[in-house]
Amino acid sequence: MEKLLRRAMTDGFPVEIIYMKKNEFSKRTIFVKDIQNGYVKAFCFQKQQIRVFRFDSILAVFPFQKRSNSVHYA
């Protein structure tokens, strides 16, 4: 998980996280800016601003996959 966050920061690609705060789960798409002292500083696409996430509250990290609304038939 940390390895993917650091690679996203270094290579400049967004990731999706599952985050827990006050017993509530949240799925966010973020652009990682910095990782220090147990915190991840990132631009949150949902809130449209820089946010700070506790590393130990991030439950999962996935590479961001752009979703397509179109259906393709063979």
Q: Work out how many domains the chain is built from and give that number.
A: 1
73 within a domain of the structure (yes/no): no
Q: Of 19, 12, 24, 23, which Cα lies nearest the Cα of 39?
A: 19
8 within a domain of the structure (yes/no): yes
Residues 24-38 pLDDT 10s:
999 999 999 999 999
Q: Are 18 and 26 in contact (CB under 8 A)?
A: yes
pLDDT band for 73, please (50, 70, 90 cuts): very low
Question: What's the whole-number mean pLDDT along residues 57-73?
Answer: 74
37 within a domain of the structure (yes/no): yes
57 within a domain of the structure (yes/no): yes
71 within a domain of the structure (yes/no): no
- CATH number, domain containing residue 20: 2.30.30.100
pTM for the structure as a whole: 0.81
17: domain range? 2-63
Q: How far is CA 71 from CA 28, 55, 65, in A?
A: 25, 37, 16
Model pLDDT, residue 64: 85
Between 64 and 46, residue with greater pLDDT: 46
